[in-house]
Amino acid sequence: MATAKSNAKVKAEATVETAAPAEAVATETPQVSFRLVVCAYPGTGEQLAKVWLKMTGEEPLVMIVQRDASLTDTLAEAVANPEIADTFILVPANCVPCAPISLDELKGPFVFVDVAGSRHYCDRLPVFFSKEALVEVLTSSPEDDETLMKTYYKNNLHRPIEGGFRIGNLVTPVYRANPCENLVIEAFVRKKFVTASPEGYKAIARLVDQYLLG
């Protein structure tokens, strides 16, 4: 059985092979070209789409992903999707914008820093991608999602903005099924993003409706 890594490489290589001739691409390109791709866990896509549309003014393409989905495979699918623009912002599941933000601001780049000071390049924050540059990284067969993102950042995104729960006002992560609602509400008021696990998002969905969509 093919691994997720080999599947992603095959998808990326297939994208390169099917990119020519240019005339064929021009005639088959859809009229809609999404610049904002929002990943969402099952059952959360509609609400996330509303929040992202409200905060950016940009219609997002929602990609439903499972909890154990590989970001590498998700990116390979994005590269192969002709509805997605050649340069796009991918928002991992489930990331919530807490205030109006432009697509230029979303280009960041951002890196999550944990309480120990370690940097995590694959941790639910939006990333600006070029399909051309992404294909180059995907076809190099990265070992895992974190390696892929570190390589992409090193080659294309320099000196990222660092933020974490206790650092700056970039993000508050919500990973527990019983988060402190006051901390979440404070994040909606003060932070750029709230990122959540499936359990965390289920716990704050009501607050998203009340404070961000109300």
Instruction: Note whether residue 195 is domain-resident.
Output: no
Asked whether the whole model's pTM tops 0.75, one would answer: yes
Instruction: Note whether residue 212 is domain-resident.
Output: no
More confident: 15 or 113: 113
Instruction: Note whether residue 146 is domain-resident.
Output: yes
Residues in the chain: 214
Give the number of domains in the chain. 1
Element (H, E) at 119: strand 119-120
Q: What is the pLDDT of residues 52-95, one digit of tens each?
A: 999 999 999 999 999 999 999 999 999 999 999 999 999 999 99
Q: What is the CATH number of the domain that holds 158?
A: 3.90.550
Rounded Cα gap, residues 26 and 28, in angstroms: 6
Closest CA to 111 of 98, 122, 101, 100: 122
Rounded Cα gap, residues 3 and 10, in angstroms: 11
Instruction: Note whether residue 185 is domain-resident.
Output: no
Instruction: Note whether residue 153 is domain-resident.
Output: yes
Please give the residue range of the domain that contains residue 121.
4-22+32-168
pLDDT at 8: 53
Q: What is the pLDDT of residues 178-201, one digit of tens each?
A: 999 999 999 999 999 999 999 999
Beta carbons within 8 Å of 117's beta carbon, 6+ residues apart = none
3-class secondary structure, 57: coil
Instruction: Note whether residue 67 is domain-resident.
Output: yes
Rounded Cα gap, residues 83 and 134, in angstroms: 16
